[in-house]
Structure 1
Amino acid sequence: MKLGWHLGYWGATPPHDIPATLAAVEAMGYDSAWTSEAYGSDALTPLAWFGSVTTRLRLGTSIAQLSARTPTATAMAAMTLDHLSEGRFALGLGVSGPQIVEGWYGAPFPRPLARTREYVDVVRQTLAREDPVASAGPHYPLPHPGGTGLGKPLRLITHPRKPGPPILLAAEGPRNVELAAEIADGWLPILFSPTQVDDALDQLRRGWSRPGARRKPEDFEILPMVSVAIDDDVEAAADRLRPAIALYVGGMGAKSANFHFEKFCRLGYEREATRIQDLFLAGSKGEAVAAVTTAMVEEMCLVGPKEKIRDDLAAWQESPATTLLVSGDLPLLRTMAELVL
């Protein structure tokens, strides 16, 4: 099993000591470093900087949002980063949710599965550079229908590296996971339970079995994001992670469209998730955080003393996960390297 450092997106200010931490995790044997985006720092720009101060680490977007860029713009950025990093870039894509897509990008949120399939197809066409890029749409038609009528299919000017960067999908819903297994090189689960993997494996197998599936199970990456809190007191460790889970379950999306809420329900926590969501949306965020049970935290996080985490890692190592993407400061990252690598 490999380890990746997941930096996510910035908070109110940029993170500190990034070059020193990157050098340390690269020396420790970490495989990769990953960024993401919501409506603050973007996912791509930091990776150009990371690549300039590292030599071996893979550099990936755990989610670059589809609505932030046209597929050809994403392909150009992916090609550029792949050249700058000498082949170390991995493109992780995701549809995000209607709150961000409609509220931040001012774009509609129709048929996320069909849009993802079409988007990835255009990105792959662009990076393949075999023919001028054309797409019948309906979501990303190229050339644009109507307008001046002067648009024509174009071919990427710069020659991409061969092979180009792998494309991974950040997916939560069952049909999205199937799609990832069918058209992508890997899956980036945001919420992943190492002990409840049967449903996920069924979804992946359905995708792998479709005609024209891109990968076989043995060469498909699965990179779950794993929150870690080390403390001799398990409850104190869980307390550090409850706010993030409450935010995902209660506030990361509308009541009628929250993919993270739905994930916890599928894992058997519908009663707890409903209470958290109701409290969060009512403005009682403190109570929502307190309503996150320790069992919910331990379902998909690593918490407690170092010895307990060592034991709990067995389930992750036995799961289909190929790389754990962990967040934290340098001491935590060093401890995880000792336990996993």
Structure 2
Amino acid sequence: MRIGIHTGYWSAGPPAGIGEAIAAADQMGVDSIWTAEAYGSDAFTPLAWWGASTRNVRLGTAVAQMSARTPTATAMAALTLDHLSDGRAILGLGASGPQVVEGWYGQPYPRPLARTREYVDIVRKVLERGAPVEYDGAFYQLPLRGEGTTGLGKALRSTVHPHRADLPIHLAAEGPKNIALAAEIADGWLPLFYTPRLDHEFRERLAEGFALRSPERSAAADFEISATVPVVVDDDVEKAADAVRPFLALYIGGMGAKSANFHRNAIDRLGYADAADEVQSLYAEGRRAEAVAAVPTALVEDIALVGPREKIAAELQRWEQTAITTLLVQGDATAVRTLAEIMR
């Protein structure tokens, strides 16, 4: 199992000290660095900036939101980054949720799985560069025809020859059907709330998708699973867990509506529905400090590595036995260094 760094969402600005941490990670042999986007910083610009000062780490988006760009625009950004980084780019895609998709990007959200399938199809056509891109789908049509158009649209092929026609595409997925879709059409899966305790269930969902995988796709044995895992090193377990609780409270209570929160649904499937009810209610009432405090330590320890070095080293053995191929550390430089030393 490899180690990567998930730089997370920006708050008011770039994460403090992240440039230095990435430079150190490149020297330490860390596998990859990953960026996120929602409705603030974008995912591609930081990778280009930070990637320019590195030589070894792979550069992944976890995730680039599909509603933020047309499929061809996303393919352009990925192939550009791949050229500039000499073949180190990984395109991680995600559907996000209706609050962001319709509220921020002004795009329709329904049928995200079918939309994802078409999106990935078009990105691959751009990267393969076999012919001018034409597509007649339920969500995307290239060239665009019909009412409100000039009728002058022309099927085009990228002027730039991609550095890699098989640039890897990974999908963020939380629901069972979406996990299976990632295994069917993508080169990797980006889970957010992974727990070794349910590794067998995740493997079953993946197996469903692998069974439908087309022959031209890379072998299932080459499929990557890069899981975001908060890591906090501290002699006091509760203090370490406190650093993770706000992250979980935000996703349970603040990401999405009560009737449509796919992150909350993922927590329910882990077995914490009652605790999630309390966190969500407190968050909705504006009692955020109480919502954070209501996140159980057991939940934190299920999806994160927190506590003294010895505890983390012992628990890491369970993670190494899972389907995960890369553990994406969400934490500070101490967390990355500690994990790297333990795994060496």
For Structure 1 versus Structure 2, the TM-score category normalised by the shorter chain is over 0.9
Amino acid at match of 1:258: N
CA offsets, 1:19-39, max 9 Å, x none? Answer: 322221111110011101011
Question: TM-score, structure 1 length as denominator?
Answer: 0.97
One of 227, 232, 237 as aligned partner of 1:229: 232
Pair 1:334-2:328 in alignment: no
- The corresponding residue for 1:174 is 176
Listed as ranges, the gaps of 5+ residues in structure 1 are none
Pair 1:19-2:19 in alignment: yes
Shift in Å, 1:109: 0.5
- The corresponding residue for 1:79 is 79
| C-alpha distance 203-283 of structure 1, shift in aligned 2 (>3 A) | same
Deviates more, 1:67-76 or 1:231-240: 231-240
Are 1:71 and 1:120, in contact at CA under 8 Å, matched by a contact in 2? yes
Counterparts of 1:21 and 1:291 in 2: how far apart (Å)?
A: 32
- The corresponding residue for 2:295 is 292
CA offsets, 1:210-231, max 9 Å, x none? Answer: 1516343321000000001111
Are 1:181 and 1:215, in contact at CA under 8 Å, matched by a contact in 2? no
- The corresponding residue for 2:316 is 313
- The corresponding residue for 1:204 is 206
- The corresponding residue for 1:107 is 107
Moved over 4 A (4+): none
Pair 1:301-2:314 in alignment: no
Are 1:227 and 1:301, in contact at CA under 8 Å, matched by a contact in 2? yes
Shift in Å, 1:288: 1.1
Shift in Å, 1:206: 0.4
| C-alpha distance 273-79 of structure 1, shift in aligned 2 (>3 A) | same
- The corresponding residue for 2:243 is 240
Question: TM-score, structure 2 length as denominator?
Answer: 0.97
Shift in Å, 1:294: 0.6
- The corresponding residue for 2:116 is 116
CA offsets, 1:252-286, max 9 Å, x none? Answer: 11101111110111111111111111111121212
Secondary structure at the counterpart of residue 145 of structure 2? coil
Counterparts of 2:67 and 2:310 in 1: how far apart (Å)?
A: 43
Counterparts of 2:208 and 2:144 in 1: how far apart (Å)?
A: 34
What is the aligned residue count?
Answer: 341
- The corresponding residue for 1:45 is 45
Shift in Å, 1:329: 2.2
Deviates more, 1:145-154 or 1:307-316: 145-154
Are 2:129 and 2:165, in contact at CA under 8 Å, matched by a contact in 1? no
Secondary structure at the counterpart of residue 92 of structure 1? strand
Deviates more, 1:101-110 or 1:209-218: 209-218
Counterparts of 1:204 and 1:224 in 2: how far apart (Å)?
A: 14
- Aligned-residue CA RMSD (Å): 1.2
Counterparts of 2:213 and 2:330 in 1: how far apart (Å)?
A: 37
Identity of aligned residues (%): 58
Amino acid at match of 1:167: I
Counterparts of 2:262 and 2:19 in 1: how far apart (Å)?
A: 34
Are 1:67 and 1:107, in contact at CA under 8 Å, matched by a contact in 2? yes
Are 2:193 and 2:303, in contact at CA under 8 Å, matched by a contact in 1? yes
- The corresponding residue for 2:30 is 30
- The corresponding residue for 1:190 is 192
Counterparts of 1:62 and 1:72 in 2: how far apart (Å)?
A: 19
Shift in Å, 1:150: 0.5
Pair 1:54-2:57 in alignment: no
- The corresponding residue for 2:68 is 68
Amino acid at match of 2:132: P
Secondary structure at the counterpart of residue 197 of structure 1? helix
CA offsets, 1:61-86, max 9 Å, x none? Answer: 01000000000000011110000000
Counterparts of 1:211 and 1:230 in 2: how far apart (Å)?
A: 40
CA offsets, 1:172-199, max 9 Å, x none? Answer: 0111000000000000001111121122
CA offsets, 1:135-190, max 9 Å, x none? Answer: 11221111112211111211111111234320000110111000000000000001
Shift in Å, 1:9: 2.4
Are 1:9 and 1:43, in contact at CA under 8 Å, matched by a contact in 2? no
